[in-house]
Structure 1
């Protein structure tokens, strides 16, 4: 990967991905809300920032997302679902990334291998949902996966060597997961980034439009 665009580069995983790519000699363009005003809640800001990006990239990594609005947590039961909360989570996790992906046809080269990876989450898998709860977050990530799948189908028509993937990074030790204690150890951001980049290096155009975890195992939709 010689030239990469990392969107969400101020977050724990996004920053680690950018640093890892730079460590391998890549030129990295970083975008974030903190530095560039890229607010996925505001379609106008997404269009403004993305329209200002020029050239092509052999890797685009979208590392954005929200677990719940500030001051709130994931719903433990359906009775806790609220329209405004669900709308905000959907905006950040699904609609915002869809607006970013609108620009991929011009930002990825038409010839040669390229990679478009979007951070999703295993809890967005409908087939793997055995616990319920977290309704807004689960639904938003399931929607994101569908968007990524559709983008992969479209890009394959014009960018034949492009690899498009949804990625589950594992539970990573960042502020995003600070209040969440998993049954297994959390990954450090640098280790999660190393694993994700290793997975992307192995994927082929024949595997585009699928959902993978940080160990290279396919996750059911």
Structure 2
């Protein structure tokens, strides 16, 4: 049995991705979602107005996780191992799709605007949080010997998807600024590449890691820039979620270790 993971899931793109997976993948595939607090309220909002069958809604497995705490991430991994991946209990499941997408933005426009504590918070959430998620969840990917079945709504191989950004590209940086955010996302691109190399050794063609750029999405992270973004380039979370899942489903072996935008175009490192 395959299972999926979206973390965090309480708002923004993670919230929309979770709802999209609940609507589109088969009822037998669990969707592990996370929130730092208010699990009952988050679960109610995730399921609200989706018009799901009982089997579709019951596979939402909402768990508490603070992505800024390694112990909290470790506890989530231990739960998932016991629930889905414990081979000693004849549970031959594997993590088929993971969206590991915490993020925040502090848009420093010049070096003298960089504040140490804010920059450190950005690096912790944007880079160290996905790094710890990779540490504790990459081992759940299928091994080389696994035989993967095709599943409607899911990619052909297992995918660990990390949230990058176009501004994390060094080659594409023509405007400067956004020092902590750009640096953290450039770090995510390196994390993506290194994780993919590990997965290729561990899993062969059965698993890969990629970075994703969703465009400018109407979330709290980008709210300051909505008015300066052309309407045709300002996306709703639901639109971004649908496009990112489409991109992930379209990946092949040549796609691995790279960063892809919402339209399926590669972003250079």
What TM-score do the two structures reach when normalised by structure 2?
0.76
CA distance in 2, matches of 1:121, 1:165: 12
> What is the root-mean-square deviation in Å for CA atoms of aligned residues?
1.7
Point out the structure with the larger helix share. Answer: 2
CA distance in 2, matches of 1:105, 1:212: 20
Which of 29, 40, 51 is the matching residue for 2:78? Answer: 51
The corresponding residue for 1:118 is 162
CA distance in 1, matches of 2:215, 2:30: 26
Q: How does 1:18-29 map to 2 (within 5 A)?
A: 18-24=18-24, 25=26, 26-29=29-32
What TM-score do the two structures reach when normalised by structure 1?
0.91
Q: What is the CA distance between 1:108 and its match in structure 2? A: 1.4
Q: Which runs of 5+ in 2 are unaligned?
A: 40-62, 86-93, 149-156
Across the two proteins, how many residue pairs are aligned to each other? 216
The corresponding residue for 2:257 is 209
Q: What is the CA distance between 1:23 and its match in structure 2? A: 0.8
SS at structure 1 position matched to 2:230 = coil
The corresponding residue for 2:229 is 183
Contact 1:163/1:204 (8 A) holds in 2: no
Q: Which runs of 5+ in 1 are unaligned?
A: 69-73
Q: What is the CA distance between 1:27 and its match in structure 2? A: 2.5
The corresponding residue for 1:71 is none
The corresponding residue for 1:81 is 114
CA distance in 1, matches of 2:2, 2:239: 21
CA distance in 2, matches of 1:85, 1:37: 25
Contact 1:120/1:167 (8 A) holds in 2: yes
**Greater radius of gyration (CA):** 2
Runs of 4+ in 1 over 3 A off after TM superposition: none
Do structure 1's residue 60 and structure 2's residue 106 form an aligned pair?
Answer: no
